Amino acid sequence: MYGRFTRTLAPMDTAVADSLIGALVDGRYRIRARVARGGMATVYTAMDERLERTVALKIIHPMSARDPKFVERFADEGKTIARLTHPNVVAVYDQGNHDGLPYLVMEYVRGHTLRELITERRRLSPPDALAILEQMLAAIAAAHRAGLVHRDVKPENVLVAEAPNPGANSLLDGVVKVADFGLAQAVEASADESESQLMATAAYVAPELITHGHADPRTDVYSAGVVLFELLTGRVPYSGDRPVDVAWQHVDRDVPPPSRYVPGLPAVLDELVGRATRRDPGGRPTDAGAMLAEVQNARDDINAGLTSAARLGAQPTALIPRITADIAADRPTWARLPDNAPPPPPRQPGRRPPMPTQPTVGDRFAQARARVEANPRTRLALAASIVILGLLAAVGGWWFGIGRYTSAPDLVSLTKAQAVDTAKRDGFALRYDIGRYDEKAAVDTVLSQSPGAGERIVSGGTITITISLGPERHPVPNVEGKQYDLAVQDLHALRLVEKRTDVYSDKVQAGSVDTTDPPVGTLVAPGTVVTLKVSKGLAPVKLTNVVGKKVDEARSLLEGEGLKVNVVSRDGDKPKDTVISQDPAEGTGVEKGATITLTISKGPTIVDVPDVSGMSVDKARAELEAAGLKVQVVGNGNGRVAIQSPEKHSKVPPDTTVTIWAY
């Protein structure tokens, strides 16, 4: 479930460089122990002997180091991350090469990964989950501001430092750091340039990475939303037997609310997860900074709810001192009791003393009205204030209710360029979602818009449009030579349907795909059935060459090998009944009982020379040429034929020249 997802499901490098333990890298970093090993690199602890501090050393695997584009991009990303200074980002101190393998020297964080914490606690309380997520988003937001996209946000790339007080159980004061900025995008960039792989972690991958391979800050927001879901529930939204199955669920399904699995979670958490994991990137917070603000608001709402609940609880009992003369003397003048106040009446058993009467709202209003009516200037000021407030309320109500709104233009069916011109002319901004395929609409045609045509929109607001990607077509992948199961995975990645046919093959080993139907590279729609012709290995019979033999001899040879013979005839230059061609050809492997088609010659074609004696030259020429013969005239070209050669009714091949003598 937590494996890597790639479009081609390429195998990972399995080499382990344990021999590096104890090695001195760059004359400075002494490797002490191996901490972890991932799909692209191995992490060690090392002692920086120059500064006498413990660091983390990440060395790229040999298989990845063979790609020069990956190495170049990895070095560039290392320089960028080194300039990214933030308390929640694992710092990068140095980079270099050791025995041809690129490495990064990073801050060593004592603690655990968030994955280990989830495994230990199963799930976290909402305050703890939000505390961790806030620090994660703070780090990712810093990267987004620097123009970086992480692309692989997951618990394995989040480190939780050991708390100063080892006995503390709360995570509210813990320090969280995000690692591996740049590694995922170096892999991604290298893969894009070679048109091969797209790498992401299937459990946390955003839909647009699967469908288009496109990543922006909203891609990290989606992954962070899935991490929050897992922190609250102890599980990821989707599971499957293969990473590709998990990944496509992100494309086809909405992430469920966490309260479905943990009843009683605050509704604000369901809303937060839902906003962050919308399949349409346009519906998510624009980047990690925007999501951080929503997380902080959610935390405040939850804390306010907890505080209100605490206030509704039992209140402590306190002793209230009786008001004596001494105490009354210490009270301010405005709060002292009158000296001649009569003693309180004796309390009757079983009756509560009457509560002092408080002025009602009506009493207060009457007092205020009396004060206003007593002063003409006050009345005038009050009237003016009421008029001004009324005007402000009317104008404000009109503005916020109607005035600031206008109608959205109709952009549907326009081309992208036309939509841009129309929106610009009317003062609106455009935002594009990921688009969708359409069997009828041309590429870059507007399929839908939000808000719709004629609906209310703030003047100068933003209209989100969906652009047609045209009919969804994918080339049949080149699976020839691949094992059948791997070929099926490639077809399923493009939502194609496989059909298996077993054939003998001299080209590939048994169990591998020989050819496909439709052929490789043919553009097909999702759901198209692709026949995979799977090799059964070499055929038991290898065809003998019978071309040039007489048909009876050829038939005898083939039938002697357990094959059937089908004979067809056509005109040819070869002698009659001679084999001109055979199908399948010589050397092809076939199984016993297969039918071999032999094409034999009918023999050369013979022409009967017409009798043109006594005919005019023109008529004789036409007669001979109609029979497929050539004509040579000797003598009077306007006369009549006296002699012809070859003679009439001679049997000659086509295109033979007939000489005629005319007088």
Which has the minimum average pLDDT: 233-242, 299-308, 578-587, 646-655? 299-308
Determine the 3-state secondary structure of 514 from DSSP: strand
Neighbours of 163 (CB within 10 A): 16
Strand (E) or helix (H) holding 161: strand 158-161
More confident site: 177 or 347: 177
In eight-state DSSP terms, residue 604 is -
More confident site: 224 or 305: 224
The one-letter amino acid code at 663 reads Y
What does the alpha-carbon distance between residue 34 and residue 541 come to, in Å, rounded to a whole number? 57
* Pick from 434, 489, 5, 437: nearest CA to 238: 5
CA dist 175 → 90, 283, 458 (Å): 11, 30, 42
Residue 154 contacts residue 203 (beta carbons within 8 Å): yes
What does the alpha-carbon distance between residue 275 and residue 50 come to, in Å, rounded to a whole number? 48
Say if strands 92-98 and 630-635 run parallel, antiparallel, or are unpaired: unpaired
What topology does CATH give the domain 607-662? Trypsin Inhibitor V; Chain A (3.30.10)
What topology does CATH give the domain 541-601? Trypsin Inhibitor V; Chain A (3.30.10)
CA dist 422 → 65, 430, 434, 465, 552 (Å): 50, 10, 21, 13, 80
Residue 595 has a pLDDT of 92
Neighbours of 7 (CB within 10 A): 20
Six token digits for residue 445:
């045609």
Which has the minimum average pLDDT: 195-204, 245-254, 401-410, 576-585? 195-204
Q: Do the domains spanning 405-467 and 541-601 agree at the CATH topology level?
A: yes
Is the Cα dihedral 486, 490, 491, 492 positive or negative?
Answer: positive
| Residues 378-435 pLDDT 10s | 667 777 778 788 777 776 666 665 656 788 999 999 999 999 999 999 899 998 888 8
3-state helix, strand, coil in the chain (%, to 5): 35, 25, 40
| pLDDT tier for residue 361 given thresholds of 50, 70 and 90 | low
DSSP string covering 256-273: PPGGGTSTT--HHHHHHH
Architecture in CATH for domain 474-535: 2-Layer Sandwich (3.30)
Which has the minimum average pLDDT: 58-72, 124-138, 224-238? 58-72
Residue 373 has a pLDDT of 60
DSSP string covering 373-400: HT-HHHHHHHHHHHHHHHHHHHHHHHII
> What's CA 280's distance to the chain center, in Å?
11
What's the burial of 251, exposed, middle or buried (CB within 10 Å: 0-12/13-18/19+)? middle
Residue boundaries of the structural domains of the chain? 4-107, 112-181+195-305, 405-467, 474-535, 541-601, 607-662
Those residues with Cβ within 8 angstroms of residue 331's Cβ, 6 or more apart along the chain or in another chain = 337
Q: Which residues are bridge partners to 573 per DSSP?
A: none
Those residues with Cβ within 8 angstroms of residue 625's Cβ, 6 or more apart along the chain or in another chain = 631
Encode burial over 612-632: b for 16+ CB neighbours within 10 A, e otherwise.
beebebeebbebbeeeebebe
What's the burial of 434, exposed, middle or buried (CB within 10 Å: 0-12/13-18/19+)? middle
Residue 630 has a pLDDT of 93
Q: What is the mean pLDDT of the chain?
A: 81
Looking up tokens 């413990």, which residue turns up? 54
Is residue 336 scored above 50 in pLDDT?
no
Is residue 142 scored above 70 in pLDDT?
yes
What does the alpha-carbon distance between residue 65 and residue 51 come to, in Å, rounded to a whole number? 28
| Residues 158-200 pLDDT 10s | 999 876 665 555 577 778 999 877 554 544 444 444 443 444 6
Encode burial over 412-423: b for 16+ CB neighbours within 10 A, e otherwise.
bebbbeebeebb
Residue 307 has a pLDDT of 54
| Residues 517-553 pLDDT 10s | 999 999 999 999 999 999 988 887 888 899 989 999 9
| Residues 427-458 pLDDT 10s | 999 988 888 889 899 999 999 999 899 888 88
Tell me the backbone φ, ψ of residue 603, rounded to 5 degrees: 95, 165
What does the alpha-carbon distance between residue 99 and residue 354 come to, in Å, rounded to a whole number? 93
Is residue 153 scored above 70 in pLDDT?
yes
Architecture in CATH for domain 405-467: 2-Layer Sandwich (3.30)
For domain 4-107, the CATH superfamily is: Phosphorylase Kinase; domain 1 (3.30.200.20)
Six token digits for residue 355:
């509560």
Is residue 570 scored above 70 in pLDDT?
yes
| pLDDT tier for residue 66 given thresholds of 50, 70 and 90 | confident
* Domain 112-181+195-305 indexed as CATH 1.10.510.10: yes
| pLDDT tier for residue 628 given thresholds of 50, 70 and 90 | confident
∠ CA 286-288-292, rounded to 5°: 110
More confident site: 459 or 600: 600
Active site residues: 152
What does the alpha-carbon distance between residue 269 and residue 275 come to, in Å, rounded to a whole number? 10
What does the alpha-carbon distance between residue 579 and residue 357 come to, in Å, rounded to a whole number? 126
| pLDDT tier for residue 374 given thresholds of 50, 70 and 90 | low
